[in-house]
Amino acid sequence: MEIGLQFLMLFNKKNIIENELSIQIFKDGFSFCSHFSKKFILFKEIDIKFNDVFKKFLEENAYQGFDRVTTVFIDQPATFVPSKIYNEKNTELYLSQNIPLNPLLQISREFTKDGEVVVLYESNKHKEDTLKHYFNDIHFTHFSVILYNLIQQVALTNEKTEMYINMQNSQFDLLVFNSGKLIFYNSFPHKNEEDFLYYTLAMAEQYSLDTDLYSINFLGKYTRFNSYYEALKNYQKKIEFTELEALDSLDLDNHPAPYFFNLMA
């Protein structure tokens, strides 16, 4: 099933403007995206550190002449806490209930645009300090904040309950909204279609979602996940895609999170 033009236009808005650089940090590498260059680099090739290798990488690719730089952390999971019940003294407790805390990382906090959710996640201070050294105007955020803000605006226009899925190579992010209000958010690991179906259908059952009434909206449509889309068709009647054609790029094939490659490029 294809979605309406208005829906597509809302989701196809780009998150960076001209002369702005997007840096996306993953567990195994990082991506630099601008209007003229899109690269994904493994950490084993180049790491974000104070050294001549990283400095040379920035100089050779002309990455230091941007007015603004946005760094998106996609390497660590996030915990959502309703702002109405959030207590700053319990920050570590909130996050530790979902993941084992890493003493080598710092805890970062963000509020969603509507102020309804506090997003907590771990981030690498050494990488932040390195990037601050090379870029004057730099902003750090978590990918789940971008997803929430984008989807929440679209969900406000729909009174029905809908599920939104962002596919990544090793995990997928699942959000459920009703009339612009978040009902559920989490990220799940997957190695195959069976893993994906297990978590997706379990969430639908937990929230008593009627397959005749709600739709599952994939953020982008990508060839590498065709078998997942087909497997879901056996259980779900309404499957929709926010983008019917992905950005054509050789680097996209190697990018761990293709929707963000398109969104932030």
Residues contacting 95, CB < 8 A, separation 6+: 79, 101, 107, 120, 121, 122
Per-residue pLDDT averaged across 4-22, rounded?
57
- State the Cα–Cα distance between residues 43 and 146, nearest whole angstrom: 24
Question: Where does the pLDDT of residue 64 fall: very low under 50, low under 70, confident under 90, or very high at 90 and above?
Answer: confident
- The one-character DSSP state at 90 is G
pLDDT at 15: 52
83-109 pLDDT tens trace: 999 999 999 999 999 899 999 999 999
Q: How many other C-beta atoms are found inside a 10 Å radius of the C-beta of residue 169?
A: 15
Give the pLDDT confidence score for residue 252 in this predicted structure: 61
The answer to whether residue 120 scores a pLDDT higher than 90 is yes
CATH for 5-11+158-259 is 3.30.420.260
Residue 262 has pLDDT above 50, yes or no: yes
What's the pLDDT score for residue 184? 93
Q: Output the average pLDDT for the chain.
A: 87
Domain segments of the chain as ranges: 5-11+158-259
How close are the terminal C-alpha atoms of the chain, in Å? 26
Whole-number Å distance between alpha carbons of 247 and 149: 22
| 124 has pLDDT over 60 | yes
**With b meaning 16 or more CB within 10 Å and e meaning fewer, what string describes 241-262?**
bbbeebbeeebbebbbbbbbbb
Query: Closest by alpha carbon to 38, among 22, 49, 53?
Result: 22
